[in-house]
A and B are shown apart, each in its own frame.
Chain A
Amino acid sequence: MRPLQRLIVVPACLLLGGTVTPCKAGTDLSRAEPTKEECFSALEKARTLAATLPTGHLSRIFAESHLHQAMIEANNGEFDECLEWSERATVEVNELKHTLQPGETLKMLRPDEEPRR
């Protein structure tokens, strides 16, 4: 997915009264939000960390699910949630909370698979 061109960097601001005027350069409309750069930096670090686990490791599956959600949040401009999901992925890999027992599989439908009725 393509990264969002952050929509808060808007070319125009509507002031009270309804006149559309150019925003001042550097106007930060959501100061409390982390930046896109912070989000993508955290995401990339977590992604690299997750890749250190073998493909199919249950904790890697969890981490990649978290990273997917982080990316969705980033694409919607929700960088705080991007950081939160990246952090969850990092914790998952560091703590290895999930392991499959020998012979155990994850019961999950593939896209081309229909459940048994």
Chain B
Amino acid sequence: MHSPVKVMLLAAASASLGLASTAAAEDLDRPEPNPYLAGDMHNHNTCTDGSVSAGYAIDRSVASGTAAAGGNNFNLDWFTLGNHGGSGNRDCRFSDTSANLPGDTTKTWTQTLGQTIDGITISKLKGTQPATPTNMWRWQSIQEVEYPIIVNRTAQHKKVLIEGLEWIVPGHEHTDAAVIAGQNPRGKGNADNMAQFEFRFDRADNDAIGPVDSSNNPIWTGKDNINNNGVAGHQKAVSGIQWMQTNFPLQSYAVPTHSERAGAFNPNGSNGYNIEHFRDFNNAGPTVAFGIESPGHFAQGSPSGGAGGYGNGAVGGGTYGMSGVYTAKIGGLWDGLLGEGRNFFIYVSSDWHSRGIFGARDSASTGDFIPGEYTRLYVPRTEPFRAQSVIDGMRSGNSYSVNGDLIGPDLRFRARGQRGGWKSMGETLVVRPGEQITLEMEISVPAKNNSPYTFDNPLLLQVGKKQPLNVPSLDHVDLITGQITGVIAPGSPGYAVPNAGGVAGASIVYNPTTVIARQIHANDMKVQKNDHGSTRMSFTTTFTAGNSPAYIRARGTNIPIATPHVTDSSGNPLLDVNNALVTCTDPACPSHLATVNNLKLVTFDVQAWSNLWFYANPIFVRPEGSPKLLVERNAELAQQLAGTQRPNGDDEPERE
């Protein structure tokens, strides 16, 4: 049922852009640690369909400097190993031969059974197996292989490492998931709860036995191994989220990923998601199902599409500014959920598998990027910083997602009324109608990113701008507002919305009130050069509060408005396949780019490094005296649960 609809107009105030106050200028000079820490929650290794060993993937992602055999490390602060469910035939203590790592070749479990490798001995492929077993179920590799590697690497790197899962969802495609309860890699702990979730609810895990006790009886009884597709599969997926909410409401999450890729929901198969499925998930798991992840696979863009791993059958027909249409479209599916006041936030990760035709140490890629190389998901720094901090930060909405190091780890995006303090992403500002809202943003644009290319961005050359690909630049920030009209109850009109694969899916409007309320060009921001070469940019602007709730979110890009084949006249990203209509003419353009008539096209990693965006989660606003938004109520639920639950692992690893 709709809540009463009252429009809150976030009226644009006049000309406060570029007029950063004295207080803001003083803030720029204040030394303080970066308020956010970067991580990745979706990546693969040879336990499923990745190209490198579990240990190698972690090492390259969280170590600093250069790997022993070559290749840059990416120094992430936290890392969640988010590998597929199901089964795998390869031993992920070894990399695939295709990764071209010295001395490392593909090994299968059948080749290594009984051997002690890296301190881990696998003596048996457990669970339901054919007469000649070849594959290890993922619940076993989570417990017995990946988690021990997490323990090992935690001691080595002193970073926060988490055993997660890319859940192959019944009735749908994929979802990032983690259950951290029991994990305590510094004190050892275990990933049994994560493994149990995978066993019970992964569509590709149809093992009927799971782990057994000393009498050979299954420990995890009651598995539904039947309802894995369509509507029944969706209900099983909802049951999985309820299982998380019931058992681990603060120590788990389920965040659908590349959610446009498989097209619209198929009631008879396992394809994508419609808005009602996200609503079902959030309803079933108010503190665990709190968002969507953008696609990874950012170096896969070819002349026929493929950036993000999206074909033309994806909802929207592909990616837009390296995001799916659910999040990239103004008034799209994400805005539909925010328009209910839901706690539904967006995140980005790498979906690292391989570098396509290249080996793991090469700097070029026609496939994916290593975690931290291109995508960074920022969550708030806490002291101490631990696995629980990652989930708490994600759940709070106080997080943001960056491609190509367009901005750094010190975003400030906050708002306040004429009374009271600042509210940041995920929080709700309560104001009187007519009250002036001051919104402040500060960002740092790093001196360089991880691009191996120093030639000028070919997309920007079209508009006469010379900007090396390895030097990020910010063109503008969009402040996007939408009205909140209340939570729609299941079964009510508008709860389920017809969806469509392909470009038809891009025309669906879920929240027609959403607009780019302000577009702040870099030239209108206050700029300060930092000692280490980065550029600190800031602006302050104002809105006038209206009579009903609303939200303000932000995105930024290096691409000017109306850049041919990249952005439209409002600055919205076009379908990324259009980038391949631009040629890469610099003599340094690499040889792996797609060609037409011997002209190299902006494709693969060059496309990714050319077309950079960041997304900041929303700040909510509501009138004083109005009912609390769902985002507030669910945040309060999390606080109540935190008051009644013992935090996970007092001695779990902290970032040092």
- A residues sitting closer than 8 Å to B (CB atoms) are 1-2, 4-5, 7-14, 16-18, 20, 23, 29-33, 58, 61-62, 65, 68-69, 72-73, 75-78, 81, 84, 88, 91, 95, 97-101, 104-112, 114-115, 117
Contacts and interface: CB of A to CB of B under 8 A. Distances in A.
Given A4-B89, A14-B225, A109-B362, A99 B48 contact: no
Given A5-B132, A30-B228, A115-B70, A10 B49 contact: no
Contacts of A30: 203-204, 206, 228-229, 270
A16 B135 contact: no
B70 A114 contact: yes
15 contacts: A4-B134, A7-B206, A11-B130, A14-B223, A23-B208, A30-B229, A30-B270, A58-B591, A72-B96, A75-B90, A76-B88, A76-B89, A108-B362, A109-B100, A114-B102
Contacts of A20: 208-209, 218
Contact of B86 (A72, A77, A88): A77
A104 B591 contact: yes
A32 B269 contact: yes
B366 interface: yes
Contact of A77 (B87, B90, B357): B87
B131 to A, nearest CB: 8
Contacts of A14: 208-210, 218, 221, 223, 225
A109 B363 CA distance: 10
Interface in B198-216: 203-204, 206-210
A65 B302 contact: no
B277 interface: no
B225 A29 contact: yes
A12 B361 contact: no
A17 B84 CA distance: 27
A9 to B, nearest CB: 7
Contacts of B23: none
A77 B204 contact: yes
Contact of A111 (B101, B269, B357): B101
A99 B592 CA distance: 8
A29 B96 contact: no
B356 interface: yes
B69 A110 contact: no
Contact of A12 (B100, B208, B221, B591): B208
Interface residues of B, number: 72
Given A32-B269, A77-B204, A112-B102, A1 B130 contact: no
Contacts of A75: 88-90, 134-135
B223 A111 contact: no
B14 interface: no
B218 A106 contact: no
A91 to B, nearest CB: 7
A18 B84 CA distance: 25
B592 A98 contact: yes
B218 A108 contact: no
Nearest to B47: A76
Contact of B108 (A1, A10, A77, A108): A1
Contacts of A23: 208
B533 interface: no
Given A2-B134, A32-B269, A105-B591, A69 B49 contact: yes
Contacts of B592: 58, 98, 106
A11 B206 CA distance: 11
Interface string B569-601: 000000000000000000000111111001000
Given A14-B225, A72-B49, 10 more contacts: A1-B108, A7-B129, A69-B354, A76-B84, A78-B204, A97-B302, A106-B591, A108-B100, A109-B361, A115-B71
Contacts of B230: 32
Contacts of B100: 108-111
Interface in B104-151: 104, 106, 108, 128-130, 132, 134-135, 137
B523 interface: no
A1 B89 contact: yes
Nearest to B70: A115
Sort A-B residue pairs by CB-CB distance and give the 6 closest, nearest first: A18-B221, A115-B70, A32-B269, A14-B208, A5-B130, A10-B128
A65 to B, nearest CB: 5
B591 A31 contact: no
Contacts of B225: 13-14, 29
Nearest to A65: B357
B134 A73 contact: no
B226 interface: yes
Contacts of A77: 86-87, 135, 204
A102 B222 CA distance: 63
Nearest to B591: A104
B357 A5 contact: no
A48 B304 CA distance: 23
A100 to B, nearest CB: 6
Nearest to B266: A32
Contacts of B88: 75-76
Interface in B335-385: 353-354, 356-359, 361-362, 364, 366
A2 to B, nearest CB: 6
A7 B87 CA distance: 8
B546 interface: no
A2 B129 CA distance: 16
B98 A101 contact: no
A13 B228 CA distance: 14
A9 B135 CA distance: 13
B224 interface: yes
B472 interface: no
A12 B573 CA distance: 51
Interface in B229-251: 229-230
Contacts of A65: 98, 356-357, 366
